[in-house]
Homo-oligomer: A and B are copies of this chain.
Protein backbone atom coordinates (compact mmCIF):
# COMPACT_ATOMS: atom_id res chain seq x y z
CA UNK A 1 0.00 0.00 0.00
CA UNK A 2 2.46 2.56 1.16
CA UNK A 3 4.77 1.13 -1.46
CA UNK A 4 2.29 1.66 -4.28
CA UNK A 5 1.31 5.04 -3.03
CA UNK A 6 4.88 6.26 -2.91
CA UNK A 7 5.52 4.87 -6.34
CA UNK A 8 2.44 6.52 -7.79
CA UNK A 9 3.38 9.89 -6.35
CA UNK A 10 6.92 9.48 -7.63
CA UNK A 11 5.64 8.56 -11.06
CA UNK A 12 3.49 11.66 -11.14
CA UNK A 13 6.49 13.76 -10.20
CA UNK A 14 8.72 12.17 -12.81
CA UNK A 15 6.14 12.71 -15.50
CA UNK A 16 5.57 16.26 -14.33
CA UNK A 17 9.28 16.98 -14.69
CA UNK A 18 9.26 15.64 -18.21
CA UNK A 19 6.10 17.50 -19.14
CA UNK A 20 6.99 20.84 -17.55
CA UNK A 21 10.40 20.69 -19.22
CA UNK A 22 8.84 20.11 -22.58
CA UNK A 23 6.00 22.60 -22.43
CA UNK A 24 6.90 24.87 -19.58
CA UNK A 25 4.86 24.99 -16.42
CA UNK A 26 2.27 27.28 -17.98
CA UNK A 27 2.07 25.29 -21.16
CA UNK A 28 1.61 21.96 -19.39
CA UNK A 29 -1.87 20.63 -18.66
CA UNK A 30 -2.90 18.57 -15.68
CA UNK A 31 -4.96 16.41 -18.00
CA UNK A 32 -1.90 15.55 -20.02
CA UNK A 33 0.09 14.85 -16.89
CA UNK A 34 -2.57 12.41 -15.76
CA UNK A 35 -2.44 10.69 -19.11
CA UNK A 36 1.34 10.51 -19.07
CA UNK A 37 1.45 9.15 -15.55
CA UNK A 38 -1.40 6.78 -16.28
CA UNK A 39 -3.48 7.97 -13.34
CA UNK A 40 -6.81 9.65 -12.90
CA UNK A 41 -6.67 13.40 -12.92
CA UNK A 42 -8.34 13.60 -9.54
CA UNK A 43 -5.65 11.41 -8.03
CA UNK A 44 -3.09 14.09 -8.76
CA UNK A 45 -5.09 16.37 -6.53
CA UNK A 46 -5.08 13.70 -3.86
CA UNK A 47 -1.30 13.86 -3.74
CA UNK A 48 -0.81 17.53 -4.48
CA UNK A 49 -2.83 20.51 -3.45
CA UNK A 50 -2.41 22.19 -6.80
CA UNK A 51 -0.43 22.24 -10.00
CA UNK A 52 1.73 24.87 -8.35
CA UNK A 53 2.58 22.52 -5.51
CA UNK A 54 3.90 19.95 -7.95
CA UNK A 55 6.34 22.54 -9.19
CA UNK A 56 7.41 23.49 -5.71
CA UNK A 57 7.95 19.87 -4.76
CA UNK A 58 10.13 19.36 -7.82
CA UNK A 59 12.23 22.40 -7.01
CA UNK A 60 12.57 21.59 -3.31
CA UNK A 61 13.74 18.05 -3.96
CA UNK A 62 16.25 19.19 -6.52
CA UNK A 63 17.69 22.02 -4.48
CA UNK A 64 18.03 19.69 -1.51
CA UNK A 65 19.80 17.07 -3.57
CA UNK A 66 22.11 19.51 -5.34
CA UNK A 67 22.82 21.01 -1.96
CA UNK A 68 23.97 17.63 -0.70
CA UNK A 69 26.41 17.12 -3.52
CA UNK A 70 27.89 20.59 -3.21
CA UNK A 71 28.13 20.34 0.55
CA UNK A 72 30.06 17.14 0.27
CA UNK A 73 32.32 18.72 -2.31
CA UNK A 74 32.93 21.79 -0.22
CA UNK A 75 33.64 19.88 2.97
CA UNK A 76 36.28 17.64 1.45
CA UNK A 77 39.81 18.85 1.83
CA UNK A 78 41.04 17.88 -1.56
CA UNK A 79 43.28 20.06 -3.69
CA UNK A 80 42.33 21.59 -7.01
CA UNK A 81 44.68 19.42 -9.02
CA UNK A 82 43.93 16.24 -7.16
CA UNK A 83 42.06 13.40 -8.76
CA UNK A 84 39.40 13.61 -6.07
CA UNK A 85 38.58 17.20 -6.96
CA UNK A 86 38.34 16.27 -10.60
CA UNK A 87 36.02 13.48 -9.63
CA UNK A 88 33.73 15.78 -7.72
CA UNK A 89 33.63 18.29 -10.52
CA UNK A 90 32.83 15.54 -12.99
CA UNK A 91 30.14 14.22 -10.68
CA UNK A 92 28.51 17.61 -10.39
CA UNK A 93 28.61 18.19 -14.14
CA UNK A 94 27.14 14.77 -14.64
CA UNK A 95 24.47 15.51 -12.08
CA UNK A 96 23.46 18.66 -13.92
CA UNK A 97 23.54 16.87 -17.23
CA UNK A 98 21.30 14.15 -15.87
CA UNK A 99 18.79 16.63 -14.56
CA UNK A 100 18.42 18.70 -17.65
CA UNK A 101 14.65 18.56 -17.41
CA UNK A 102 14.55 20.08 -13.95
CA UNK A 103 17.07 22.70 -15.01
CA UNK A 104 14.85 23.59 -17.94
CA UNK A 105 11.90 24.13 -15.66
CA UNK A 106 14.00 26.02 -13.18
CA UNK A 107 15.48 28.23 -15.82
CA UNK A 108 12.12 29.10 -17.32
CA UNK A 109 10.61 29.92 -13.96
CA UNK A 110 13.69 31.90 -12.99
CA UNK A 111 13.45 33.99 -16.13
CA UNK A 112 9.80 34.76 -15.55
CA UNK A 113 10.86 36.04 -12.16
CA UNK A 114 7.67 35.49 -10.23
CA UNK A 115 9.47 34.41 -7.07
CA UNK A 116 11.50 36.84 -4.97
CA UNK A 117 14.63 34.78 -5.56
CA UNK A 118 15.01 33.07 -8.92
CA UNK A 119 15.39 29.33 -8.25
CA UNK A 120 18.64 29.14 -10.21
CA UNK A 121 20.24 31.67 -7.87
CA UNK A 122 19.88 29.07 -5.16
CA UNK A 123 22.46 26.96 -6.91
CA UNK A 124 25.11 29.57 -6.20
CA UNK A 125 23.76 30.54 -2.80
CA UNK A 126 24.50 27.03 -1.73
CA UNK A 127 28.02 26.98 -3.00
CA UNK A 128 28.75 30.20 -1.22
CA UNK A 129 26.37 30.75 1.67
CA UNK A 130 26.57 34.28 2.97
CA UNK A 131 26.95 33.28 6.54
CA UNK A 132 30.26 31.53 5.97
CA UNK A 133 33.58 32.95 6.98
CA UNK A 134 34.57 34.21 3.58
CA UNK A 135 38.24 34.84 4.14
CA UNK A 136 38.72 31.46 5.68
CA UNK A 137 37.29 29.71 2.62
CA UNK A 138 39.31 31.77 0.22
CA UNK A 139 42.53 31.03 2.03
CA UNK A 140 41.56 27.39 2.23
CA UNK A 141 40.78 27.24 -1.50
CA UNK A 142 43.96 29.06 -2.39
CA UNK A 143 45.86 26.45 -0.45
CA UNK A 144 44.22 23.87 -2.69
CA UNK A 145 45.36 25.74 -5.74
CA UNK A 146 42.29 27.83 -6.59
CA UNK A 147 43.01 31.46 -7.31
CA UNK A 148 39.73 32.81 -5.98
CA UNK A 149 38.68 36.38 -6.33
CA UNK A 150 38.70 38.08 -2.96
CA UNK A 151 35.79 40.39 -3.79
CA UNK A 152 32.77 38.28 -3.00
CA UNK A 153 30.45 39.97 -5.46
CA UNK A 154 32.94 39.70 -8.25
CA UNK A 155 33.57 36.09 -7.35
CA UNK A 156 29.89 35.21 -7.36
CA UNK A 157 29.38 36.80 -10.76
CA UNK A 158 32.28 34.87 -12.22
CA UNK A 159 31.11 31.60 -10.68
CA UNK A 160 27.53 32.06 -11.72
CA UNK A 161 27.67 33.61 -15.17
CA UNK A 162 30.78 31.95 -16.54
CA UNK A 163 30.65 28.68 -14.58
CA UNK A 164 27.23 27.55 -13.49
CA UNK A 165 25.20 29.19 -16.23
CA UNK A 166 27.18 27.65 -19.09
CA UNK A 167 26.94 24.30 -17.33
CA UNK A 168 23.17 24.63 -16.90
CA UNK A 169 22.61 25.84 -20.43
CA UNK A 170 24.74 23.11 -21.88
CA UNK A 171 22.67 20.59 -19.98
CA UNK A 172 19.52 22.24 -21.30
CA UNK A 173 20.55 22.61 -24.93
CA UNK A 174 22.83 19.60 -25.41
CA UNK A 175 20.35 17.48 -27.31
CA UNK A 176 19.13 20.28 -29.52
CA UNK A 177 22.72 21.33 -30.17
CA UNK A 178 23.69 17.83 -31.25
CA UNK A 179 20.71 17.66 -33.59
CA UNK A 180 21.20 21.05 -35.10
CA UNK A 181 24.96 20.92 -35.59
CA UNK A 182 25.08 17.21 -36.33
CA UNK A 183 27.52 16.33 -33.59
CA UNK A 184 27.54 13.13 -31.58
CA UNK A 185 26.60 13.42 -27.95
CA UNK A 186 30.02 12.22 -26.77
CA UNK A 187 31.89 14.72 -28.96
CA UNK A 188 29.61 17.48 -27.83
CA UNK A 189 30.27 16.76 -24.15
CA UNK A 190 34.02 16.54 -24.73
CA UNK A 191 34.07 19.80 -26.61
CA UNK A 192 32.03 21.55 -23.96
CA UNK A 193 34.39 20.36 -21.24
CA UNK A 194 37.30 21.70 -23.22
CA UNK A 195 35.45 25.00 -23.65
CA UNK A 196 34.95 25.32 -19.90
CA UNK A 197 38.54 24.34 -19.26
CA UNK A 198 39.78 26.97 -21.68
CA UNK A 199 37.67 29.76 -20.24
CA UNK A 200 36.16 29.44 -16.79
CA UNK A 201 38.54 26.95 -15.19
CA UNK A 202 41.51 28.66 -16.73
CA UNK A 203 40.82 31.85 -14.85
CA UNK A 204 41.56 30.16 -11.51
CA UNK A 205 45.12 29.90 -12.65
CA UNK A 206 45.32 33.35 -14.22
CA UNK A 207 47.42 36.05 -12.71
Contacts of A196 in B (CB 8 A): 161-162
* Cα separation A84 to B153 with both chains bound (whole Å): 30
Q: Which of A5-13, A87-95, A184-192 contacts B (4 or more CB under 8 A)?
A: A184-192
Chain A interface category by residue count? 35 or more
Chain A facing B: main interface SS = helix
Tell me, rounded to whole Å, the shortest Cβ–Cβ distance linking A172 to chain B: 6
Q: 23 interchain pairs (CB within 8 A)?
A: A21-B111, A22-B112, A23-B26, A23-B112, A24-B26, A26-B26, A27-B112, A113-B176, A118-B176, A120-B173, A121-B180, A153-B191, A154-B194, A156-B181, A157-B191, A158-B195, A158-B199, A162-B166, A162-B195, A162-B200, A169-B169, A199-B203, A202-B206
